[in-house]
Structure 1
Amino acid sequence: MQIVQATFQSEEGKEAVKLLNNLGIDIEDYKLISSETGDLLIISLLYGNADTVLDNLTEKFNFDENEDRSMIIFTPDTVIPRNKAKEKESSFKANRESLVTYAQNNSTVNDHFIFLAIMAAIIASLGLILNNIPVIVGSMIIAPVFGPIVAISMGIVLGNFKLIVKGIISESTVLLIAVVVGLIMGSIVPNVAINSALKGRMFPTVADLLVALAAGSAGAYSLISGVRAQIVGVVIAAALIPVMCTMGIGISLGNLTMVGGATLLLVGNYLALILAIMGIFYFKGLKPQIWYEFKAQKLIKKSLIIIIVVTIILSLPLSWMTYQRMIKEQPEDIVRKVYRESFGDELETNLLEIGVQGKTVELFIYTPKGTDEYFFRLIEKRVKKRLGSDYRVIFEVIPTKRFQLPLDSL
């Protein structure tokens, strides 16, 4: 249920009531309080007619330019309706004005927006460089990325070009800030190496598109259903700030593969998110104002065609990269399993790295000095048994020595 509290000039409330009667609003669902100083009309919107009522009220009365008129829309925490049957028949849907307000408020480039973008980019860049997943997740919560994407998607569905442009400008601002910050962090932090956090964004897969589709759908559904408690989780799943920072870090390292992979992932996620949000908004009944309906329908058709075609084109290299990644990672997983079985090192505490290039397997291991060669031959034998006799196994052994200082040395 949503409540509309509208104020009018004196005697205008009666005209608003006539309008409500023409729209079929029950008399029990509104109350008019008239006075010499102005009229107050309180409307309870429970039955999915919010957008129709608001469209007609805003068309008949100019709330933007007349200071004596105003409109406040809010959702009460608890509703005890008198008509239980109507409550069961109705399905709650946030009104268009509240959704537009959310998109505008979360895609406005101001001091607050820029500050959050900079802080999120710094945290994400350092989290990527340090390979610290909790820090990266923290940056996702802060980053003002989801709001502009919602603004773009909603602008397309409503035929609102101003909202689309606002969303694009906001998202471009975040992108520019994140890339620049990533570039700076990658340049000033010493010994930046390609770790698993960066590698995961260098080589995107089809699964990343599916995550974006699911996150966008969940976010749009939460917004239009009026249940925004899940938005934080959606923001984390859909956050693109680490991907943007990866692009900047890749530029600082001169790594074109990192820049290209992150760019491909970013574009793919943008398209998947916009497509999912548009789809949920459209099929949940979010409609433009009456006078924009024809323009919105044309815009939706054109946008859907373009987004779907580009997404299909992007899915081709992503499918290839997914296949290649699965093929390359499979031998490494097998070698790790063999290592754990042979040395009994379940946590891989002594395993520094595994490299698989073609038919060559390289293991970098910390082992006590004087370790029997038998263990290495055992690993080689088991690896060849699992992968094939044509594989070559090379060991890079780093000997360790254990000693204890005498007590008197303290």
Structure 2
Amino acid sequence: MQVVHATFASGEGKDAVDLLKNLGVEIEDYKLIESETGDLLIINLLYHNVDILIDKLKDRFDFTNNVHRSLIIFTPDTIIPSNKEKTKKEDYRATRETIVTYAKENSEMSSQLVFLAVVAAIIATLGLILDNTPVIVGAMIIAPVFGPIATMAIGIVLGDLKLLVKGIIVELAIMGIAISIGAIFALIIPNVSMTHALQVRMLPTLPDLLVALAAGGAGAYALITHVKSQQLVGVVIAAALIPVMATIGVGISLANVDMIIGAVLLLFGNLFALLLAIIIVFYVKGLKPQWWYESTANKLIKKSLIILTLSVIILTLPLSVITYNQMIKEEPEDVVRKIYREHFGDELESRLFSINVKDKEVDLIIYTPIDTDKHYFQLLANKIKEKLGEDYKVIFEIIPTQRLETPLQSS
């Protein structure tokens, strides 16, 4: 349930009550307080009625240019309804006005937004360079990336082109800030090299796209059911964006084309997936435009869904290739490790230090006793070729070990 407080000039309250009666609002759901200084109309409504009621009130009364009128909408923290059965049947969601207010607040290029974007980008970049996951998570918490994306989706669903454009501008600004910060810090910090955190974001896979879809759906659901709860989900959405933006900047500074292409692919894949999921959830949950925007909104939704769906499908193609290659890359190493463990581990009395499989070449580093017969290494190489193929070349780097027994000292 939400509560609407509408104030009017003295005597106007009765006209507003007549409007409520025509809309079918039950008498126990509103109360009119009349006075010489003005009328106050308190309306307790279930969520699904609020959008229509507000549209009618705004159409009948000018709340913007009349100092005697105002319209306040808020959600109580605790509700003890008189009709519990009726309340249980309703599908709760925030009002359109609440969602629009959120969008307007999060699509302004304020000094606070710029500051948070800069700080988040700095923290994310340092976390990537240091390969420090907790630091990267810290950047996600403060990154203001969910608001502009939600604003874009809200603008599409409600047919509000101004909101859509404002959301795009702010998101592009955050993107520019994060990429620039990544490039600058990677340039001024000495000895920046490839880390696992950077490598993960330069090799996007299909699971990354699925994470973005799930995060977008969760963020939209949290926003439309309770605006304040979206902050927690926004952390997950920031995980799909702000570190990736910083990775692009680091790639530019290092002149690493593979890093730039991979991170850009991941960034746009996540953006499209997030937008698609948010729009679908908003539409399914019943967020509707005002009637005069309905035609524009329907066209925007159809075009957006088609473009975003096609974009996500197209992006799944290179992501599928990368995912497949990653699986193939890991498989030979597992095969070699299994062969060694099952056939030669005990006989060689050795320790397999590392395996590297690249371009039909298997490099093995093994700690083994100094007098180990070379025959065992030939057998191991033959077994590997049987499993991987005769075109594989097996190279051993042997680190000899020697067992020493310390003599007992006499007292």
Q: What TM-score comes out, normalization by structure 1 length?
A: 0.88
2:48 match: secondary structure: coil
2:43 match: secondary structure: strand
Partner of 1:97: 97
Name the CA distance, whole Å, in 2 between partners of 1:283 and 1:289.
17
Q: 1:144 to 1:227 in 2, by over 3 A?
A: closer
Q: 1:333 to 1:294 in 2, by over 3 A?
A: same
Partner of 2:312: 311
Contact 1:47 1:86 in 2 (8 A): no
Q: CA deviation at 1:121?
A: 0.4
Q: 1:339 to 1:273 in 2, by over 3 A?
A: farther
Q: CA deviation at 1:235?
A: 2.7
The correspondence of residues 325-404 of structure 1 with structure 2, limited to 5 A, is: 325-335=326-336, 351=353, 354-363=355-364, 383-384=384-385, 387-388=388-389, 390-396=391-397
Counterpart residue type for residue 81 of structure 1: P
Partner of 1:201: 201
Q: 1:47 to 1:260 in 2, by over 3 A?
A: closer
Partner of 1:282: 283
Counterpart residue type for residue 391 of structure 1: Y
Name the CA distance, whole Å, in 1 between partners of 2:341 and 2:172.
47
Partner of 2:122: 122
Name the CA distance, whole Å, in 1 between partners of 2:73 and 2:341.
61
Identity value in percent:
58
Name the CA distance, whole Å, in 1 between partners of 2:333 and 2:185.
31
Counterpart residue type for residue 321 of structure 1: I
Moved more, 168-177 or 323-332: 323-332
Counterpart residue type for residue 55 of structure 2: D
Contact 2:370 2:401 in 1 (8 A): no
2:92 match: secondary structure: coil
Partner of 1:159: 159
Partner of 1:301: 302
1:48 match: secondary structure: helix
Counterpart residue type for residue 301 of structure 2: I
Q: 1:155 to 1:230 in 2, by over 3 A?
A: closer
Counterpart residue type for residue 254 of structure 1: A
Partner of 1:131: 131
Deviations 1:44-95 (A, max 9, x none): 1115111101111122222222232222211111111111221122121111
Q: CA deviation at 1:310?
A: 2.1
Q: CA RMSD in A?
A: 2.8
Counterpart residue type for residue 302 of structure 1: K
1:194 match: secondary structure: coil
Contact 2:352 2:364 in 1 (8 A): no
Q: CA deviation at 1:198?
A: 1.1
2:4 match: secondary structure: strand
Contact 1:47 1:87 in 2 (8 A): no
Partner of 2:235: 235
Moved more, 329-338 or 369-378: 369-378
Larger radius of gyration between Structure 1 and Structure 2: 2
Moved more, 171-180 or 85-94: 85-94
Q: What TM-score comes out, normalization by structure 2 length?
A: 0.88
Partner of 1:13: 13
Q: 1:258 to 1:2 in 2, by over 3 A?
A: same
Q: CA deviation at 1:386?
A: 5.1
Unaligned runs of 5+ in 2: 403-411
Q: 1:323 to 1:78 in 2, by over 3 A?
A: same
Moved more, 30-39 or 222-231: 222-231
User: Is residue 2:106 matched to residue 1:106?
Assistant: yes
Partner of 2:65: 65
Deviations 1:351-393 (A, max 9, x none): 5x6432122123467x699696889778757655654554333
Counterpart residue type for residue 64 of structure 2: D
Counterpart residue type for residue 33 of structure 2: I
Q: 1:41 to 1:185 in 2, by over 3 A?
A: same
Moved more, 87-96 or 383-392: 383-392
2:41 match: secondary structure: strand
Q: 1:59 to 1:396 in 2, by over 3 A?
A: farther
